[in-house]
Each structure stands twice: as C-alpha cells, then as structure tokens.
Structure 1
Amino acid sequence: MHKRSRKNFMSVKAKLDRICINEAMLVKDALKQMDREGQKTLLITGPNRLLLGAITDGVIRRWILGDGSLPAPVASAMTANPLSCPLHVQTDEIRKIMLKTHIECIPLIDESGAVKDAFLWYEIFSTEKPAEQFKIPVVIMAGGMGTRLHPFTKILPKPLIPINEKAIIEIIIEKFTRHGCRDFFLSVNYKAAMIRAYFNDIAHDYSIEYVHEEQPLGTAGSLALLSDKLNGSFFVSNCDIIIEADYADILKRHREDKNIITVISSLKHYRIPYGIMQMAEGGRLEGISEKPEYDFFVNTGMYLLEKDALGLLPAGKPFLMTDLINDCLAKKMRVGIYPVSDASWIDVGQWEELQNALTRFGIK
C-alpha cells in the first residue's frame, strides 16, 4: 500500500466524508447531498466504511420514474457491488477505466472491502465528461417582456440578461451545442431588434432563425409558426432558465417512453415554518403537524416535443405550454417527466432567483 502524509490523509478523509453515506439515508436526502457537495455519485457504506453500493443521480432518476419512493432508504435504490479498485491501482489504470465506462467515482478498497479512498472524474481529467452527441432542432421562447424583472427589462430584453460576461440565452444555447445541436429557432417579439443585434455581433458556429410574433403568443403559441420547419423530436426552452443535465439522456428516455411531450421537472423541497392545522366540520381541530416538509416536482420551462403535438395548436393565437400538455393528456397522448435535482435548475426569471444565479456563478 502507498503511504500518505497527514495532509493528504486529511484531504482524503474530507473527500470520503462528502461522498460516503449510510444505507439508512433517504433517497431524497441523498439527492440533497449530491446538490450540496456538487457530486453525481455517492458511495453507500456500512460500519468501518465497508462498501455496500453506490447511487448516482441517474439511478435516483430511474428510481423515481419507476415509482420508487423518495422517503425510501438508499439501500432500496442503490447499485450493489459497484465497480471498485484495490488501493495499489495506478492512476493511468483509473483513467482508462473511467474513459471506457464513464463512471465518475471509483472507490479504492482494502482487503476487507472498506473504502479507503476514491478517484473522482475531475481529479483525473481537467475537462468535463464528454457529452453524447445528437442533432435535433432547439426552439427558445425569447419573446416575453420579462415583467418580473422590471425595471431592468424596461431597457434590456430578458434573454440578454448578463451572467458571467455572457447573455443568458447564449449560455442556454451553449448547453445544447455541447451535445452537437446546431439549429436554433428564436421566437421573438419584445425588443427583438436588440436580440438580433446581439447575435449579429458575436461569432458562433450554429445557425439561428428568428420567428417573429406579431403579438405575444404565450409559451407555446409561436410553435405553430414552425410547423413546416420542425420534424420529429425537438427541444423547447424558456429563455430564463439553465438546466444542468445530460440532454442526450433526456432524448433517449423521451424516445424509449414514446412520449409526445417530456417535461423536464425539478424536485423542490419546501418546509412550512409553522404548525399546520387540519380542520374538521364545525371548526373542530382534527390534528396539527409541526413545521411539515413537502417535496414537489415543478415545471422548469424546458420540454422535448414531437411534431405531432403541433397539430393541437391554434394558428396565430396565444397558447400556453401547460394548455398544450393538458390537451395532449385529454387525448390520451403520453406525456412524461424527466426529473432533475433542485441544483440542476437555474431560474433567472425573477429578482431573487437572478441573485441566486449570480451567486452560483461566482459573481456575487
């Protein structure tokens, strides 16, 4: 076994404290720890850090979509006997394994099976894990007035809100180009000329076609103007959100489930800071819950659609994406969700969330 200095030992201990969890931890709490620590993989360990399994954000996603319970212990959802390596393994060997398997965390175990260290992707490689490539169109809804960000948006359209020296819409586009998308449609109305001028002034290796709304058409209405240009699957995104996810996996799940629409949803946790009373008829108190906690999946404003959904849109009339979804459900068409964690969704559509986004990007 290789020797470690006290300094290195402490750093290893700190790392293992971040990525090792007890088998009794709840799935929803494991997801929160992933968000808190910025890790996509956690190791489930027993006494003396005996390796029992591993759980990733993808495993949790499949658990949720398979009707698994968020309050269930991680032992119910984990992958047992995960890939591990002996302590004496060389870094070059770890690099080869990670490139072949795309596993982002490989534990190092001793003869008893106890975790003594772990290699993480970012420790081995200086770049992000390569994104799987695909090419489908992307529609970005950029025509809104951004009233929740007044007075800022009285001057600047919401898609051009700067984050870390780039406009939010450029960051959104880069998330898709990383996966190989090159064809973008921007639905514009409010201060459309400023948006056009922005993209005319920057170098880019993707195509942009503008769809001008003569009147505000809501979050889905302008898609009817693209019915002759969109075929098969395509993404739709609001212009004030950033989704950190594997877009290729979203597309894969969408097609496997044969969804007409997939809604990318974020898990939100709310804690009511008061005692909640249950009232019965006549003002009788049935019970009281002290500071209850709730988990919800909420709509992020990003979707994956099939062209057939466009046939339900009224031509030239305002229409909301939620109305399109409800119409699909009413016609027994399959609508699915793709869950992401709370930290994977950055919303800049209102002042408080914009400030949070700036903080996450290290600007404040």
Structure 2
Amino acid sequence: MFESLLIDEQHRVLEALHQLEETRRKILYVITEDGRLVGTLTDGDVRRWILGGGKLDGVVGAVCNRCPYSVEAGYRLDDLKRVMTERKITSVPVLDDAGRVVDVLFGDGLVEVGSDSRQEALLGMPVVVMAGGKGTRLAPFTSVLPKPLIPIGDKTAIEVIIESFAACGVDDFYLSVNYKSKLIQAYFEELAPSYRLHYVHEDKPLGTGGGLRTLAGRLEGDLIVTNCDVIIKADYHDLVDHHVRENNDITMVVSLRHYDIPYGICDIVDNGQLCAMREKPQYHFLVNTGLYVLKSSVLEMIPEDQFYHLTELIDDVKRHGGRVGVYPISDKAWLDTGEWQQYCDTMAQLRS
C-alpha cells in the first residue's frame, strides 16, 4: 500500500531514515497533517543534509525536495509514461483537487523506465579485503576457523562481502592474509569462483593498513578497502561517484548511530555540587564502518613492513593537506560480525 511511503513533514529525519529502509522503494512522500503533498525524500537527500551539518532530530520538511513531479486524477497515461521515461522516475504521486496524495503509481509494469546507467556500468576498480586478523573477539570460532570463514547463513562472511561487490562488476579482489591463510586459500580453491583473487601475504601482523603497502605502485586510480567482518548494504556506484565528485583522497563510509540513555545524566562541579541534569538524553554519532575508497597514490605514504592502521593513514593524509571525506549510511545498512553480540544481531537481521 502506498501509505507506507507517506511521512508527515514534522517527523524527525532519523524516523524518515528508518522508514526509507523499511519501504525498499527508496523514496518517501512528505505530506502535511491533512495529507497535502509537500515534497519527496530519498536517502540521498538525507545524506546531503547530514554532510551539510544537519541534525538527525531535524524535521523532514526542512530536508525534502519541495519540487516533486506529481499528477492529478484524470492524468493522461501516455503523457505520464513519456515523463517517467524521460526523467527516469520510478514512482509518481497522484493528487486530488486539494493537493492530497490519493495514490502512488509505480513504474513496475506501467512503463519501461530504464535501468540506472551506473548499475549497468562495471565498477571498474579493485577491492582489497583485510583478512589477516585473528578475530579473537569471536573465539572459540576463530580458534578453529579464520574470521573470514565464519558462516553467515549458508556462505562465509568473506563470500558475502565479495559477492556484494562482484554484483556491481568488480572482478579483481586482493585478500590481505596472515592468520590461518592456508585455510582461506584452500577454501577458495575448492570454491573456484568466477572472479579473480590475488593474495597479499603478511609474514607478521601489520594492522589494518600495513599490508596495503605492498600494493603501492601496482594499482592505479581508486580502490576500495574493506574489513572482512563488515557487510555494507550501500549503493557502491553512488559511493564512488561521491568520492570522485568531492576529489577525496580517502572516503570513509560511516554509519549513523543513535543512543538513548534511559537515565538522568548529572553534571557536577569540583566540590560535588550538581550544576545540571539532563533527563534521558539522546546522542547521535557517525561511526566508522571499516569500508573506504582510496586514491591509490596514498598507498605510498604507508611505511614499509610496519604495523600501521588505516586510521593512521587518514591522519597522515590530513596532515599533508589531503582530503578525507565521509559517506553516511543508515545504521541498518551496516552489519557487523566482529563480536559475538554483533554477529548474533547480524544473523537475526538477515533471517528477518
């Protein structure tokens, strides 16, 4: 029913973001209290709002596109098809004489809207998966299996990650391996995937960034780097477009995290006197997910044969005047399997 695509203009941005995840249509129609159309809202609108300094507790009416395309009852089907095809619109609201939304028309079965050219194009860049860690937080699983091979449904974690990129046309994958690396190689030899795998062997643990140094000079253009315990449900084409458009040296994918403190928070001064109290405060954070887009040139800044994290590379790039940007995604678009509770939460979400 189209009602699931409607949201009141006074609702909060965080509520809208969750509703966008639930609808799977990737668009909401913003309405007044009496149902009149105000505008449209997509995850791209929310992302631009956040990058511009907007808050998650801001109202939807301040974020939405206020010039949406709509039709009134009695519309001509041929005209509608033409406009939807030309503008590549996948859904259109139908309004009554008072401007209230009474229906939403979808391109599915109505018109050949055409696929997104970005999705048709291959994501022509390599992906590096950091798969060398011991995964001690997942013991005793990882006392037997390397972390990349823990099961996610009927596949391994690293398969799920790789296949999400392979679906976008990525064909070159580099696995940075150390702990139980022979098991990882044996698994993929048996699997015999259609994509190409290259192994970057670390003779000793080099952190989340140290192993990348061996790729300096071997890769050109941009590359994607991901941890082996994060599953990101994002539009990778849009992520790369954002990285290129902003001319970033590094783009970090960050997840929106919302925390409710169910208690009153007390602020005190040195003598133990209460100076302020905040009842059940709410906090919003942008959290590093462990997925990055990098210009290959920054790999030259990584020291050779040293333990070095990607966060240190970010600091070094910024110190040398480089550009480091972020690409926000919703909390539901980030599935983390790095700890037991996170792993169980991820499995529950995938089953739901």
Decide: shared fold, TM above 0.5: yes
Identity of aligned residues (%): 41
Matches within 5 A, 1:25-44: 25-44=11-30
Does the CA-based 8 Å contact 1:143-1:188 persist in structure 2?
Answer: yes
Partner amino acid, structure 1, of 2:15? D
Quote the residue 1:162 is aligned against: 151
CA–CA separation in structure 2 for the residues paired with 1:24 and 1:143: 47
Alignment partner, residue 116 of structure 1: 102
Question: Hey, what does 2:58 align to over in structure 1?
Answer: 72
Provide the C-alpha distance between the structure 2 equivalents of 1:353 and 1:100, rounded to a whole number of angstroms. Answer: 44
Query: Which sits farther off after the overlay, 323-332 or 32-41?
Result: 32-41
SS at match of 1:353: helix
1:237-286 CA-partner distances (Å, limit 9, x unpaired): 00111111111111111111111100000000011121111112211211
User: What is the match of residue 191 of structure 1?
Assistant: 180
The answer to whether structure 1 residue 82 and structure 2 residue 68 are counterparts is yes
Deviations 1:40-79 (A, max 9, x none): 2111011431111011001111111122333222111110
How far 1:97 sits from its partner (Å)?
6.1
Residues 333-352 of structure 1 mapped to structure 2, 5 A cutoff:
333-352=322-341
Structure-1 separation of matches of 2:217 and 2:238:
27
Count of matched residue positions in the alignment of Structure 1 and Structure 2: 347
Distance 1:350 1:119, change over 3 A: farther
Query: Retained in 2: the 8 A contact 1:53–1:78?
Result: yes
Of 110-119 and 290-299, more deviation after overlay is shown by 110-119
Checking the alignment, whether the CA contact within 8 Å between 1:35 and 1:342 is kept in structure 2 is no
1:268 lines up with 2:257 in the alignment? yes
SS in 1 for 2:271: helix
State how far apart, in whole Å, the 2-side matches of 1:170 and 1:89 are: 48
* 1:329 counterpart = 2:329: no
- Asked if 2 retains the 8 angstrom alpha-carbon contact of 1:41 and 1:104, the reply is no
Matched residues in 2 for 1:162 and 1:96: separation? 47
Pair 1:293 & 2:282 matched: yes
- TM-score computed with the length of structure 1 as normaliser: 0.88
CA RMSD of aligned residues (A): 2.4
Q: Which runs of 4+ in 1 moved over 3 A?
A: 35-39, 85-105, 119-125
Structure 1 residues 122, 318: closer, same or farther in 2, change over 3 A? farther
Q: 1:119 to 1:342 in 2, by over 3 A?
A: farther
Aligned partner of 1:146 in structure 2 is 135
Compute the displacement of 1:203 (Å).
4.0
* Matches of 1:121 and 1:148, distance apart in 2: 46
- Are 2:21 and 1:24 aligned? no
User: Is the Cα contact below 8 Å between 2:255 and 2:330 reproduced in 1?
Assistant: yes
CA distance in 2, matches of 1:155, 1:102: 50
Code of the residue aligned with 1:23 in structure 2: it is E
Residue deviations 1:113-144, cap 9 Å, x none?
2111224577879xxx7525320111000111
Q: Counterpart of 2:170?
A: 181
SS of structure 2 residue aligned to 1:201: helix
Unaligned runs of 5+ in 1: 1-11
1:326 CA displacement: 1.2
Q: Work out whether residues 216 and 297 of structure 2, in 8 Å CA contact, stay in contact via their aligned partners in 1.
A: no
More divergent stretch after superposition (215-224 vs 81-90): 81-90
Change over 3 Å in CA distance of 1:54–1:209 after alignment to 2: same
Partner SS for 1:258: coil
**One-letter amino acid matched to 2:309:** L
Structure 2 unaligned spans of 5+: none
User: Equivalents in 2 of 1:229, 1:92: separation in Å?
Assistant: 53
Q: Which amino acid is 1:333 matched to? A: G
Is 2:270 aligned against 1:284?
A: no
Task: Read off the aligned partner of 2:43 and give its amino acid letter.
Answer: D
